[in-house]
C-alpha cells in the first residue's frame, strides 16, 4: 500500500471562454497574443474537466527560440499531470501531437485517457473548540463538499479548508487552526481518506483602540476611517480594511494597524493604530491631453487640514485649448460615515467648442451623505443635495444670449468596482435631478433629469465585455435658447459618441445649425481582448443622439478600435473611432482619455 501526505493542492481560477457571445467576437479581429505563440489543447475528457485543465495551461510566447519551446512543452506536461492529480486522476495517460500554425505559432494537443480515478473511501471532518458554544454560528459553516464515493477533488478540499478557516477568523476565532489536515491515498486500490480536524480556539473581541501620531487631526475624524470599534468580534480582515481606508485618505503615512495578541485582557485584544501625518498643504502642476478639450496645463493647491478641523480646501486652475477655468471647493466632514460632508464651491469657466462657446460663473453649497459602509472597500455610494447659482453668457451656432439661474439639484451615485485603478469588473450609476423657477429669479422654468451608468465584466483572463448608457430629459417653459449650453443636451465626444466631435450633435434650428436638445439617449458596448494583465485591445460600437422628440430621433452610430493600459494611476485609453452615420472630416477620430470617469 502506498500512502502519500498531500500538503499542497492545485487551485485554478476563471471562467470558460464559451460565455463570450459569437456576435461580440465578430467585432474584434483576430489578434496574436505575442510573436511565436504556443497554445495547448485538451481532448478526450468531459467538458467541465477540460475547461479546468485548460486553465492550467495558458498560451505562451516562445519568441522563436527552439530551446524555449521545448522548455514550455515540458513545463506544460508537468502542469497537466499536477492538474489531473488535483482532480483525482492519478493514472491518466495522454498522446501528444504538435500542430504547426502560421507565423511560427504552434498548438500542442493532448488526447487524454483518464484511467481509473481515486475515489474518497472515508472522511473524518471535525470542528471543535469554543465554537461549540455557538451552535447558530456553527451551522453557518458550509458543509464539506465531498461525499464518500466521490472522485477526489483536491481543489474543492483546499477551497473549503481555506474558506472555513478565513470565516472563523473573521468571526473572532483568530487562533483557529487545523491540528490534522491530510489526505491519504492508495494509488493501487484507487481510494483516499481525508482527515481534516479544525479547532476554533477561543473567540476574541476588539479591546481598547489606541491611536498614536497624527496629533494635528481631530480624533473624531480619524475614527471615521475605522472599520472596527471596541466590542466587535476581532477580525484581521477588518484591521486590514482600516489600514487601507487610512492609506486612501491621502493624509497619513507609515500606517500600522495591529492587534496585540500577546497582551490579552480576558477575551479582548487591544488594537494600536500608528500614524504619521503627510504634509497638509500640497501644490501640484501637471500637463495633460484630452480629445475633448485639447492640450492642457493644470495647477492644483490643496490644504487638507484647514483650521486643524480636517476641512479640505481644493483650488484648481486649468488652461486648455478649448477650456479655461479656475475654481475652488471647500469641504468639511460631518458625521461618522466616510464621505459625509458639507460642500461649498465656486468656479469661472471660459469654453469654446465647435458648436458653442460660453463664459460661466457658478457657485454651489450643499451636503453629501455617504450610503456605503466604511468596511465595504470597493463600494462608493452617496446622495448629494446642492443649491446652485449659474450666470452665463453664451453663443450657440452664432446666436448669443445670457441667462441667470438659481436651482436645487440632487444626485444619487453608486460605484462598485473591485479595483478602481483597473475597472474591468463592476458597475456605476449616477442620476441627477435639478430644476429652476422664475419665482426664484431664474431666467425660465425647467426640470432636468440625467442618468448615466456602465458595467464591465471579465469573462475569463483574456476576454472582457462591457456597456454604458446615458439618458436625459428636459422639461422647459420657453425657447431652449434661454438655457446655457451646459444645461442642454448634446451628443458627441469621448464619453458619448467618440466618432463625432465633442458636443457637436443634436437638434438643429431652421438654418440647420445645431442648438442642443431636450432629450438624450446614447448607449455603447465594447469587447476587450487582454494581451497581458495590464494591456488590452478594445472594439466598440455606439449609438444614440440628442433630440427634441421621439418622432425626430435620428440615431448616429460609430465603431472603433482602441488600446487600454491599466496604469498605476488608472486606465489610459487610446481609441480610433469612425462615424457610420453622417460622417464628417476627419473620417477617423483619435480619442485619448486618462483615468476612470465616474
> For 491-525, how does the pLDDT look when each residue is reduced to its tens digit (9 = 90+)?
999 889 999 999 999 999 988 899 999 999 999 99
Predicted local confidence at residue 19, as pLDDT: 35
Grid cell in block for residue 103: 507565423
pTM above 0.85, yes or no: no
pLDDT band at 379 (very low <50, low <70, confident <90, very high): confident
Q: Which pLDDT score, from 0 to 100, does residue 30 have? A: 39
Mean pLDDT of 478-488: 93
By CB atoms closer than 10 A (0-12, 13-18, 19+), residue 193 is: middle
- In which element (H, E) is residue 535 found? strand 535-547
Average pLDDT (68-97) is: 93
pLDDT of residue 21: 34
pLDDT of 286:
85
Q: What is the pLDDT of residue 597?
A: 64
Residue 495 confidence (pLDDT): 87
Residue with the bigger pLDDT between 135 and 23: it is 135
Statement: residue 322 has pLDDT above 70: yes
- Helix ranges (DSSP H) in 171-223: 219-223
Instruction: Give the residue-averaged pLDDT of 81-96.
Output: 96
Contact 56, 42 (CB under 8 A): no
The phi and psi torsions of 257 (rounded to 5 degrees) equal -120, 110
Average pLDDT value for the chain = 89
CB 447 within 8 A of CB 475: yes
Look at residue 23 in the predicted model and tell me its pLDDT: 35
Largest Cα–Cα distance in the chain? 93
pLDDT of residue 9: 37
Contacts of 480 (CB under 8 A, 6+ apart): 488, 515, 516, 517, 518
Contact 353, 366 (CB under 8 A): no
Q: What is the mean pLDDT of residues 107-135?
A: 94
pLDDT higher than 90, residue 357: yes
Compute the average pLDDT of residues 483-490. Answer: 96
Which of 196-200, 216-220, 246-250, 361-365 is least confident?
Answer: 246-250
More confident call, 12 vs 91: 91
Each residue of 9-59: pLDDT tens digit? 333 333 333 333 333 334 444 343 445 788 899 999 999 999 999 888 888
Alpha-carbon distance 413 to 431, whole Å? Answer: 6
Q: Which of 223-227, 289-293, 338-342, 572-576 has the lowest mean pLDDT?
A: 289-293
Cell of 173: 476565532
Band of the pLDDT at 483, cuts 50, 70, 90? very high
Coil/strand/helix, residue 60: strand
* 65 — pLDDT class (breaks 50, 70, 90): confident
Angle separating helix axes 154-170 and 66-86, nearest 10 degrees = 70
pLDDT of res. 28: 41
Instruction: Determine the angle formed by the axes of helices 154-170 and 236-248, rounding to 10 degrees.
Output: 70
CATH 1.10.1750.10 assigned to 32-113: no
Give the CATH fold of the 205-277 domain. Ubiquitin-like (UB roll) (3.10.20)
What is the band of 547 on the pLDDT scale with cuts at 50, 70, 90?
very high
Of the candidate ranges 5-9, 170-174, 351-355, 537-541, the one whose mean pLDDT is the lowest: 5-9
What pLDDT, on a 0 to 100 scale, did the predictor assign at position 596? 62
Query: For the domain bounded by 334-594, which CATH number is listed?
Result: 2.40.160.50
Amino acid at each position: 500500500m502506498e500512502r502519500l501526505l498531500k500538503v499542497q493542492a492545485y487551485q485554478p481560477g476563471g471562467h470558460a471562454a464559451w460565455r463570450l457571445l459569437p456576435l461580440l467576437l465578430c467585432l474584434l479581429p483576430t489578434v496574436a497574443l505575442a510573436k511565436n505563440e504556443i497554445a495547448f489543447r485538451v481532448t478526450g475528457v468531459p467538458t467541465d474537466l477540460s475547461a479546468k485543465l485548460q486553465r492550467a495551461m495558458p498560451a505562451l510566447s516562445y519568441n522563436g527560440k527552439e530551446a524555449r519551446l521545448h522548455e514550455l512543452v515540458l513545463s506544460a506536461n508537468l502542469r497537466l499531470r499536477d492538474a489531473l492529480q488535483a482532480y483525482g486522476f492519478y493514472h491518466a495517460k495522454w498522446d501528444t501531437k504538435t500542430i504547426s500554425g502560421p507565423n511560427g505559432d504552434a498548438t500542442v494537443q493532448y488526447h487524454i485517457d483518464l484511467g481509473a480515478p481515486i475515489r474518497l473511501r472515508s472522511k473524518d471532518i471535525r470542528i471543535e473548540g469554543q465554537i461549540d458554544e455557538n451552535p447558530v454560528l456553527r451551522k453557518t459553516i458550509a458543509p464539506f463538499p465531498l461525499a464518500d464515493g466521490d472522485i477526489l477533488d483536491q481543489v474543492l478540499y483546499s477551497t473549503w479548508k481555506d474558506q472555513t478557516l478565513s470565516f472563523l477568523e473573521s468571526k473572532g476565532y483568530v487562533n483557529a487552526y487545523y491540528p490534522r489536515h491530510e489526505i491519504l491515498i492508495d494509488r493501487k486500490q484507487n481510494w483516499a481518506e481525508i482527515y481534516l480536524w479544525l479547532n476554533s480556539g477561543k473567540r476574541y473581541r476588539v479591546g481598547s483602540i489606541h491611536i498614536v501620531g497624527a496629533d494635528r487631526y481631530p480624533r473624531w475624524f480619524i475614527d471615521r476611517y475605522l472599520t472596527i470599534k471596541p466590542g466587535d468580534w476581532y477580525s484581521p480582515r477588518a484591521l486590514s480594511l482600516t489600514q487601507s481606508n487610512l492609506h486612501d485618505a491621502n493624509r497619513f503615512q507609515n500606517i500600522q494597524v495591529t492587534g496585540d495578541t500577546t497582551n490579552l485582557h480576558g477575551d479582548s485584544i487591544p488594537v494600536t493604530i500608528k500614524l504619521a501625518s503627510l504634509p497638509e498643504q500640497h501644490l501640484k502642476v501637471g500637463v495633460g491631453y484630452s480629445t475633448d478639450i485639447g492640450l492642457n496645463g493644470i495647477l492644483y493647491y490643496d490644504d487638507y487640514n484647514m483650521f486643524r478641523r480636517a476641512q479640505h480646501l481644493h483650488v484648481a486652475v486649468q488652461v486648455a485649448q478649448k477650456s479655461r477655468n479656475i475654481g475652488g471647493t471647500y469641504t468639511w466632514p460631518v458625521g461618522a460615515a466616510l464621505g459625509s460632508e458639507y460642500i461649498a464651491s465656486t468656479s469661472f469657466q471660459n469654453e469654446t467648442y465647435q458648436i458653442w462657446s460660453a463664459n460661466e460663473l457658478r457657485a454651489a453649497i450643499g451636503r453629501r451623505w455617504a450610503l456605503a459602509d466604511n468596511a465595504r472597500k470597493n463600494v462608493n455610494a452617496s446622495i448629494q443635495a446642492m443649491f446652485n447659482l449659474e450666470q452665463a453668457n453664451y453663443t450657440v451656432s452664432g446666436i448669443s444670449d445670457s441667462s441667470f439661474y438659481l436651482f436645487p439639484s440632487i444626485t444619487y451615485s453608486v460605484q462598485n468596482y473591485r479595483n478602481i485603478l483597473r475597472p474591468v469588473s463592476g458597475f456605476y450609476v449616477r442620476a441627477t435631478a435639478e430644476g429652476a423657477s422664475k419665482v426664484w429669479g431664474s431666467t425660465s422654468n425647467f426640470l432636468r433629469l440625467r442618468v448615466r451608468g456602465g458595467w464591465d465584466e471579465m469573462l475569463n483572463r483574456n476576454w472582457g465585455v462591457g456597456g454604458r448608457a446615458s439618458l436625459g430629459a428636459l422639461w422647459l417653459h420657453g425657447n431652449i435658447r434661454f438655457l446655457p449650453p451646459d444645461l442642454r443636451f448634446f451628443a458627441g465626444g469621448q464619453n458619448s459618441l467618440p466618432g463625432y466631435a465633442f458636443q457637436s450633435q443634436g437638434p438643429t434650428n431652421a438654418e440647420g445649425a445645431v442648438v442642443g436638445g431636450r432629450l438624450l439617449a446614447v448607449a455603447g458596448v465594447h469587447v476587450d481582448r487582454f494581451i497581458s494583465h495590464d494591456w488590452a485591445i478594445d472594439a466598440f460600437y455606439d449609438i444614440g443622439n440628442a433630440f427634441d422628440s421621439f418622432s425626430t430621433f435620428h440615431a448616429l452610430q460609430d465603431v472603433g478600435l482602441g488600446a487600454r493600459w491599466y496604469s498605476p494611476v488608472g486606465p489610459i485609453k487610446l481609441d480610433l473611432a469612425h462615424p457610420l452615420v453622417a460622417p464628417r472630416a476627419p473620417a477617423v477620430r483619435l480619442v485619448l482619455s486618462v483615468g476612470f470617469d465616474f
